[in-house]
Amino acid sequence: MRYALIEHSEVVQIDCNPREGFIEVEDNVSCGMLYDGKNFSLPASPPISIQSQIQALEAQQTPRILREAIEGQAFALSKLSEIEDAIQVLRAKL
């Protein structure tokens, strides 16, 4: 068994010895976990920033896709259109 200090519903410190203000916890509890008074859980992952999403979409605009679009290949034209539409939606959120 270990002991955890909880502040504002978050585990902020773990200790192997009982201390004032600490509660007894299972060995799988770690700092950063959330505590609702009964159960421990992992915090939600932070959302990916809009700029990072735009960069990921731009990375899909490869030279091959661009070349195939210039050649008039329908799939490449459609793919570039989808990417550009998604980028415009994200840019509107900035």
pLDDT > 80? residue 47: no
pLDDT given for residue 90 in this prediction: 92
Give φ, ψ of 14 to 5 degrees.
-120, 140
What's the number of domains the chain is made of?
A: 2
With pLDDT > 70 as the criterion, what percentage of the chain qualifies? 99
pLDDT of 11: 96
Query: Looking at the structure, do residues 56 and 81 belong to the same domain, yes or no?
Result: yes
Q: Quote the pLDDT of residue 1.
A: 85
> Is pLDDT above 80 for 27?
yes
Structure confidence at residue 14 (pLDDT) = 94
Band (94; pLDDT cuts 50, 70, 90): confident
pLDDT tens for 75-92 read 999 999 999 999 999 999
Shared-domain flag, residues 32 and 67: no
Structure tokens at 76: 């490449």
Range of the domain at 58: 50-93
Residues 6 and 37 grouped into a single domain: yes
- Residue appearing with tokens 């955890």: 4
For residues 28 and 62, membership in a common domain is answered with: no
Predicted TM-score (pTM) of the model is: 0.51
Other beta carbons within 10 angstroms of residue 11's beta carbon come to 19
